[in-house]
Amino acid sequence: MSNETPVLELRSLEKYFDTSSGLFDAVKNRILGDGPSYVRAVDGVNMKLEQNQVQGVIGESGCGKTTLLRTLIGLYNPTGGELLFHGRPVSEFDKDEWKEFRRHVQIIFQDPFNSLDPKFSVRRTLAEPLEIHNMEYDDERIAEMLESVGLTPPEKYLTRFPNQLSGGEKQRVAIARALITEPDIILADEPASMLDVSTQAEILNLLNKLTDEFGVSMVYISHDLSTVSYICDTINVMYLGRVVEEAPTRTLLAEPKHPYTKALIQSIPIPDPHYDRKRPDLDGEPGDPINMPEGCRFKNRCPKRMDICDRKPLDIALEGEDDHTVACHLYYDHDEVEGDQPEPTADPASSATSAGDAA
Amino acid sequence: MSEPILEFEDVDITYRTTGDSDVHAVNSASFAIEEHDYFGLVGESGCGKSTLADSIVGGLDDNGEVTSGKIRYKGEEIQDYSESEFNKKIRWKEISVIPQSSMNSLDPVMKLSDQAIEMAKYHTDLTKAEAVDRLRELFDVVGISESRIHDYPHQFSGGMQQRTIIAFSLFLQPSLIIADEPTTALDVIMQDQILDYINDLKDDWDISMLMITHDISIVFENCDSMAVMHGGQMAETGRVVDLFDRPRHPYAILLQNAFPDVRFPDRELAVIDGHPPQLLDDPDYCTFADRCPWAVEDCRRGAPDPQEIEGDADHRAWCIRADEMEDLAADHLAPATGETSILEEDT
Amino acid sequence: MSVTNAFKNFKESDYGIVLLNTLRKLLQERITKFAFVCLVIILVLGTIGPAIAPYQYNVQHREDGQLLRYAEPSLDHPLGTNDRGEDVLSRLLYGARTTVITGLLAGSLMLSIGLFVGVTAGYVGGRTESFLMRFVDFIYGIPFIPFAIVLITFFGAGFYTTIAIIGLVLWRFIARVIRSQVLQIKQRPYIMAAQAAGASTPWIIRKHILPNIANMAALFFAMGVGLAILEQAGLSFIGVTDPFNPTWGIMLRNAHQSGRVVEAWWWSFPPGIMISLTVLSLYLLGRGYEGTSGDDEVVV
């Protein structure tokens, strides 16, 4: 595997869920001539995860980040687009390759209290992935792993059960379980958000250290920009199934472009009573993934809404900054960019009168 | 100085258990909330902050009890009130609660307007129409369309439910509101909106607030005074600005440094080693001693007494080395020097 | 030596630790301890009962050439004799064995079918689940006693036929509960973690689902055993089991039929008390065991 191919690549990945449940809806749709109605939980997401890189995915609850994670790990079949692992599409994988994939892609969950089997001792928890993949191991190896996640002395922890561990210790065990098969990729689903502040810092520092030490890449999903900035190299901001902005962490925090990203950053409370934070002027509730607006999905809450927002914005790299892309009509000249066609479902009348009509 | 609206004086709260040892959830807690003050109470889960809040409205579990000390509300001792006294004199009318999970505190099978009528029936002599009118006004205050007062709670999203709860907590015009982790379950944008509404209440409704949270940044932004708790003991209390500028309890210092600040993504986060204590024996020692980098032998010899911090009014730290802290924790106290915020507006 | 070693190894394995902890917790409460002791005694009686019984259960005792009917308790016959001059204590002890066999066999049968159906339906889901659960509904629709009478008329009244009928019908409640339990556990992140690690479905069921429903299964096994004993007594009482096998139910039936339930109390009371005691102990133990499932409790 060469270092040029990304470890994991998403090409306009889509995961739709059919909301028509059961026979009744199916018949109703057939009679009324409707197609099945979909929740477009992940809708055309592009991402390249390079070797040893940490990509953050940020968004409010319901933005599709958990669905994205489950699709990445192969628990959901994508309904469209492609997922490439070391340059090979996973849709072509046979059974053995899938198993291999599962060894190389591991997951850490948000909730340490439920992500360990209460009937498994720490030793068995760590041994399980090795047994599944028929890997040779001895207690030595498990003890080493425990040490590297900071559970020392390991002998003390080997025979413990989850109910004898604190939240932080559980999360360390979960991290150890994810790392023990020597994966290429770790998918982390807000691993620190349910822990106390003091423990949270510990887990973040540990993840930082381990991704370097083991040379793994990581996709880190969270709703909290302030913790993500400590760990991620690049941040993808997700809104209702689409990535609206992607940039290196510092760039994104310092020069956010998309109105949604700006609002997200401005909403973070600052632990400093002397600091006078400017609150975002943003209305409304987080979008409803079932009835999403056409065009830009953020338009109904956006303080800078224009007529053209009824069309789907393109992912455009900012001038002079290849690694900073934004999907917002504010940031590109619609006459120059090719392929900027109105969505087929959008009302043609509204786009005909809109400001920068490309046609 | 006027009389504080709520005052805790050496309050101990104990839960009896069937096992050998009782749980000493809160030990000699002392603090005071001034009239028209927003007071933040910060600590890790299990530090006793919710127990403390429960004791104010008589909401302790059956096996919990205020074993000593005094809780004064507007000068009157309420720690020994009976259930009916709490109902008659305190709950809703004087002190109302915004709980963490709004889902559980609204009756799911009852229209919101009916819940308001119900509440008016028990606590006021408002007529049905008046009760509905008042709810309508309050919905306006928290920014929900008045037309939705006849909806059921499940028709609302999480953020709207939380705002509804705020509306209900104002229903009987209380003097004090206890907000127990009011925004923990919410996304950051929604949290910001809710806190904005909560902040507006202060002047419009002339209330005081006890805001309980694990998020120190929320307290720093929204409160006037605060207290930090650890392991059932008070760590530090005072004006928010004083605690930020001159923290003198090791836990308060480390907690501040453990908190991520989006302005400084390169800052190293402080780690507090060890776990919160189990509180199974009567703590006649500092419960933070085992985790404290500056602990000395004396810390384990007795529960620390509050030390007044010189130069600040009402600023106290429960640490025997409080006056040495400035030197001991010097490198923790000035982490921000030389750093510049990376945020857009600041540059 | 190897046995002690094996035992020691087991004690230190995960299952061993879990088992020992559960047992320790279980026996903390006095009432469960009492139930546990009762059950052990009944189990022991079931195993060695016939060996310690003073007489054969079907020997008709005579005194002066006369059948010794309705003899009051005495040193020779501590629980007296019945209408055919048989020793009640001996019959009671023989009955313990049939009760234990009935309970364990029928209970295991119920548990195996219930577990299989419940776990499959719960974990696989979809059409399989609908089909299996409709089948359970169908079984629920079977009125037990008439059904048993009809089957026994077909196959003849055998001791094991009764057990089979009990087991084949009464598993239904276990299947339902186990399914809902599996549905819950299936949602836990640790199951997803195992899936993500590449574990196969049988692996997950064996390693994660079954151990985590073990508490529930044990509770329902206990209840199943109790139910089987009760139903067997019921069937015996209405006379649709093997009349020559001395179960406690048959003893009650005989006493009832002789019309001397009240006068010959030493004959009617002991089997009744034994049935109640067994079933009660089983339920108490089950309750107690359910109470120890606090393994999942969060220690912060």
The pair of three-digit structure tokens given for residue A213, joined into one six-digit string: 């030490």
pLDDT band at A349 (very low <50, low <70, confident <90, very high): very low
Residue among C17, C196, C214 minimizing CB distance to A159: C17
Residues 6+ apart with CB under 8 A from B181: B100, B212, B213, B214
Q: State yes or no: pLDDT of A357 exceeds 50.
A: no
**Average pLDDT of the segment spanning A152-172:** 88
A179 lies within 8 A of chain C by CB: no
| Residue A130 falls inside a structural domain | yes
What does the domain layout of chain C look like in residue ranges? 20-59+75-293
| Residue B134 falls inside a structural domain | no
How far is C242 from C228, CA to CA, in rounded Å? 16
**Nearest in space to A15 (alpha carbons), one of A48, A46, A41, A47:** A41
Q: Per-residue pLDDT tens for A190-224?
A: 888 888 887 888 888 889 888 888 889 999 998 88
**Under 8 Å between Cβ of B65 and B32:** no
A25 or A169, greater pLDDT: A169
pLDDT band at A28 (very low <50, low <70, confident <90, very high): low
Give the strand pairing for A242-248 and A234-239.
antiparallel
Backbone angles phi, psi at B208, to 5 degrees: -110, 160
Q: Per-residue pLDDT tens for C134-154?
A: 999 999 998 988 888 888 888
The pair of three-digit structure tokens given for residue B181, joined into one six-digit string: 């982790």
Question: To which residue do tokens 């009168």 refer?
Answer: A353
Q: How many other CB atoms are there within 10 angstroms of residue B295's CB atom?
A: 18
How far is A286 from B157, CA to CA, in rounded Å? 9
What percent of chain A clears pLDDT 90, i.e. is strictly above it? 22
Contacts of A200 in chain B (CB under 8 A): 258, 269
The pair of three-digit structure tokens given for residue A228, joined into one six-digit string: 């993500």
**Nearest in space to A229 (alpha carbons), one of B259, B345, B249, B306:** B259
Contact A73 C17 (CB under 8 A): no
**Average pLDDT of the segment spanning C114-138:** 91
How far is B88 from B90, CA to CA, in rounded Å? 6
Rg (CA), chain A: 22
Residue among C193, C195, C203 minimizing CB distance to A115: C193
**Under 8 Å between Cβ of B335 and B263:** no
Alpha-carbon separation of residue C73 from B165, B310, C78, C264, C266 (angstroms): 73, 91, 5, 10, 7
- Residue A330 is given by DSSP the state G
| Residue B37 falls inside a structural domain | no
Q: State yes or no: pLDDT of A292 exceeds 70.
A: yes
How far is A261 from A282, CA to CA, in rounded Å? 11
Size of interface A-C (CB pairs under 8 A): 85
Residues in chain C, total: 300
| Residue B135 falls inside a structural domain | no
DSSP C206-262: IIIIHHHHHHHHHHHHHHHHHHHHHHHHHHHHHT-S-TTS--HHHHHHHHHHHT-TT
The secondary structure element, H or E, covering residue A324 is: strand A321-326
Residue B183: the pLDDT is 83
**Average pLDDT of the segment spanning B223-235:** 93
The average confidence (pLDDT) of chain B is 86
Residue B235: the pLDDT is 93
How far is A118 from C292, CA to CA, in rounded Å? 13
- Residue A46 is given by DSSP the state E
A133 lies within 8 A of chain C by CB: yes
| Residue A246 falls inside a structural domain | no
The secondary structure element, H or E, covering residue A235 is: strand A234-239
The pair of three-digit structure tokens given for residue A191, joined into one six-digit string: 């691993």
| Residue A92 falls inside a structural domain | yes
Residue B338: the pLDDT is 58
Q: How many other CB atoms are there within 10 angstroms of residue A162's CB atom?
A: 26
| Residue B7 falls inside a structural domain | no
**Average pLDDT of the segment spanning A227-246:** 90
Q: Per-residue pLDDT tens for A45-75?
A: 899 999 889 999 998 887 888 889 888 888 8
Residue among B189, B220, B344 minimizing CB distance to A263: B189
| Residue A309 falls inside a structural domain | no
C208 lies within 8 A of chain A by CB: yes
C-chain residue closest to B279, CA distance: C300
pLDDT band at B11 (very low <50, low <70, confident <90, very high): very high
| CA angle, B43 then B44 then B47, to 5° | 75
**Under 8 Å between Cβ of C238 and C252:** no
Residue A352: the pLDDT is 39
| Residue B256 falls inside a structural domain | yes
Contact A267 B220 (CB under 8 A): no
Residue among A225, A264, A271 minimizing CB distance to B220: A271
The parent domain of residue A43 ranges over: 8-240
C248 or A356, greater pLDDT: C248
Residue among C197, C208, C214 minimizing CB distance to A129: C197
Q: State yes or no: pLDDT of A345 exceeds 60.
A: no
- Residue A309 is given by DSSP the state G
> What's the structural domain count of chain B?
1
Contact A124 C14 (CB under 8 A): yes
Contacts of B276 in chain C (CB under 8 A): 300
pLDDT band at B223 (very low <50, low <70, confident <90, very high): very high
Give the strand pairing for B307-308 and B316-317.
antiparallel
**Under 8 Å between Cβ of B325 and B319:** yes
Question: Three-state DSSP class for B130?
Answer: helix
Nearest-10 crossing angle of helices C265-291, C248-258: 150
Give the strand pairing for A185-189 and A217-222.
parallel
**Under 8 Å between Cβ of C227 and C214:** no
Type of residue numbered A264: L
**Nearest in space to B169 (alpha carbons), one of B130, B212, B139:** B139
The parent domain of residue B305 ranges over: 229-333
Contact A285 B347 (CB under 8 A): no
pLDDT band at A33 (very low <50, low <70, confident <90, very high): low
Q: State yes or no: pLDDT of B209 exceeds 90.
A: yes
B80 or C73, greater pLDDT: B80
Question: To which residue do tokens 């002190």 refer?
Answer: B95
Q: State yes or no: pLDDT of B100 exceeds 80.
A: no
**Under 8 Å between Cβ of A82 and A91:** yes
For the ranges A22-31, A161-170, B2-11, B76-85, which has the lowest average pLDDT?
Answer: A22-31
Residue B103: the pLDDT is 66
Which positions 280-309 of B are in contact with C (Cβ < 8 Å)? Answer: none
Q: Per-residue pLDDT tens for C63-117?
A: 777 777 777 777 777 777 777 778 888 888 888 888 888 899 999 999 999 999 9
Question: Three-state DSSP class for C25?
Answer: helix
| Residue A81 falls inside a structural domain | yes
Torsion from C-alpha of A85, A87, A91, A93, nearest 10 degrees: -70
Contact B45 A196 (CB under 8 A): yes
DSSP A160-204: --GGGS-HHHHHHHHHHHHHTT--SEEEEESTTTTS-HHHHHHHH
Contacts of C197 in chain A (CB under 8 A): 102-103, 106, 128-129, 132-133, 177, 181
Backbone angles phi, psi at B115, to 5 degrees: -65, -35
How far is B13 from C300, CA to CA, in rounded Å? 19
Residues 6+ apart with CB under 8 A from A190: A110, A221, A222, A223, A224
| Residue A258 falls inside a structural domain | no
Task: Give me the numbers of helices (H) and strands (E) for chain C, helices first please.
Answer: 13, 2
Backbone angles phi, psi at C7, to 5 degrees: -65, -40
**Under 8 Å between Cβ of C85 and C69:** yes
For the sheet with A88-89, list strands across it: A38-49, A8-18, A80-85, A88-89
Contact C207 A164 (CB under 8 A): no
pLDDT band at B121 (very low <50, low <70, confident <90, very high): confident
Residues 6+ apart with CB under 8 A from B141: B167, B170, B197, B200, B201, B204
Contact C197 A132 (CB under 8 A): yes
**Nearest in space to B42 (alpha carbons), one of A280, A273, A163:** A273
The pair of three-digit structure tokens given for residue B329, joined into one six-digit string: 């924790």
| Residue A104 falls inside a structural domain | yes
How far is B265 from A3, CA to CA, in rounded Å? 28
How far is C88 from C274, CA to CA, in rounded Å? 13
| Residue B246 falls inside a structural domain | yes
Contacts of B45 in chain C (CB under 8 A): 300
Contact C207 A128 (CB under 8 A): yes
DSSP chain C: -HHHHHHHHHHHSHHHHHHHHHHHHHTTSHHHHHHHHHHHHHHHHHHHHHHH-SS-TT---EETTEE-TTPPP-SSSTT-B-TTS-BHHHHHHHHHHHHHHHHHHHHHHHHHHHHHHHHHHHHH-HHHHHHHHHHHHHHHTS-HHHHHHHHHHHH---HHHHHHHHHHHHTHHHHHHHHHHHHHHHTSHHHHHHHHTT--HHHHIIIIIHHHHHHHHHHHHHHHHHHHHHHHHHHHHHT-S-TTS--HHHHHHHHHHHT-TTTTHHHHHHHHHHHHHHHHHHHHHHHHHHHT-GGG----
C83 or B255, greater pLDDT: B255
Mutate to test the interface with A, among C130, C190, C293 (most CBs of A within 10 A): C190
Contacts of A273 in chain B (CB under 8 A): 220-221, 240-241, 244
| Residue A236 falls inside a structural domain | yes
A182 lies within 8 A of chain C by CB: no
B276 lies within 8 A of chain C by CB: yes
Residue among C188, C195, C198 minimizing CB distance to A103: C198
The secondary structure element, H or E, covering residue B225 is: strand B225-230
C18 lies within 8 A of chain A by CB: yes
Q: Top-level CATH class of C20-59+75-293? A: mainly alpha
For the ranges A307-316, A339-348, C202-211, which has the lowest average pLDDT?
Answer: A339-348
The pair of three-digit structure tokens given for residue B255, joined into one six-digit string: 């907690």
B175 or C289, greater pLDDT: B175
Contacts of A177 in chain C (CB under 8 A): 193, 197
For the ranges A163-172, B129-138, C9-18, C25-34, which has the lowest average pLDDT?
Answer: C9-18
Question: HSE (CB half, 13 Å, CA atoms) of A78?
Answer: 24
**Under 8 Å between Cβ of C235 and C163:** no
What percent of chain B clears pLDDT 90, i.e. is strictly above it? 24
How far is C141 from C136, CA to CA, in rounded Å? 9
| CA angle, B317 then B318 then B321, to 5° | 85
Q: Per-residue pLDDT tens for B283-295?
A: 888 999 988 989 9
- For residue A153, is the peptide bond before it cis, meaning its omega torsion is within 30 degrees of 0? yes
Measured on CA atoms in the order A320, A325, A328, A334, is the torsion positive or negative? positive
Q: What is the CATH number of the domain that holds A101?
A: 3.40.50.300
B130 or A287, greater pLDDT: B130
> What's the structural domain count of chain A?
1
**Average pLDDT of the segment spanning A121-147:** 90
